[in-house]
Structure formats: structure tokens, C-alpha cells
Amino acid sequence: MREDLGQALIETAVTLPVMLVLFLGFLAVGVVAEALVDLNTAVYLAAASAAAAPAGQAATARDYATWTFDDTVANFPELQVGGTGIDCTSDPNGFGAGAQVTCVASAELRFDRTLFAIVVPTNPRLSATATAVIPEHRGA
């Protein structure tokens, strides 16, 4: 009976950490997916904002994109944007009517501030790209 109890304890001691790591691992995958959705939404809205600026005003378009991206990402504290934040370019250059705007951004998912650091020792770096077209009717 004592041997049975000892064996059960050892089995539990081995199984429990494995189950915990598996459980946290599954949750971590979910958190990464949600963070990707957050980042994609912020970049998508930023590209749309840049395309909604007065045509031909590159600095204004970039400002709109940056404000939109920064303010949206600020609502998702688990995402930390490093470097220059969002970068938007247009093709052809100059953010004129008919141009295609492409915005790219990356952010770090701060696992080190959460319980997930147990199973994910690094902070994954996520990136997202979005494009929008400045309508032809937006003038000169």
C-alpha cells in the first residue's frame, strides 16, 4: 500500500509539470494569435488613414498613419513597438491620387511580463503589412 502511494506521488510529480507546460503552451499560442490580430488591425487602419489624407501630401499622410497606429497599439499593452514604429511608403512616390500605400510595422509581444515566460523564454517579434489605394477622385 505504501509502495502504491509512493508510485502515485512520483507519477503525479512527473505528469503535473508536463500538463502545466502543455496548458500554458496552448494558451501562449492563443495569445500570439490575438496579438497578431491586434497588430494587423493597427497597421490596416494606419494604411487606410494614410490613404484618407489630402492627396499629394506625404508628410500629412505619414502623420495620419503614425497617429492611428500609435493610438491603436497603445490600447494593447502586451505589444511593445520598437524602433521607428510604423513605416509607410507609396508607389508611385508622393502619396498622390491613385498611388498604392504600403505600411509595415513590427512589435514585440512581451511574454516576459506574464506567466507565459515559464514556457516561452523569448519575446516573439511580430510584423504586419497592409496596403491601401488612394482613390483617383481625391484630386491633384
Residues that bind another protein (CB under 8 A): 26-27, 30, 33-34, 37-38, 41-42, 44-45, 48-49, 52-55, 60, 63-64, 67-68, 71-72, 75, 138-139
* Residue 105 burial (C-beta neighbours within 10 Å; 0-12, 13-18, 19+): buried
Nearest approach in angstroms of CB 40 to another protein is 9
Nearest approach in angstroms of CB 29 to another protein is 10
User: d(Cα 20, Cα 91) in Å, to the nearest integer?
Assistant: 49
Nearest approach in angstroms of CB 58 to another protein is 14
Q: Do residues 38 and 76 lie in contact, with contact meaning Cβ atoms separated by under 8 Å?
A: yes
Nearer to another protein, 110 or 138 (CB): 138
The strand pair at 87-91 and 125-133 is best described as: unpaired
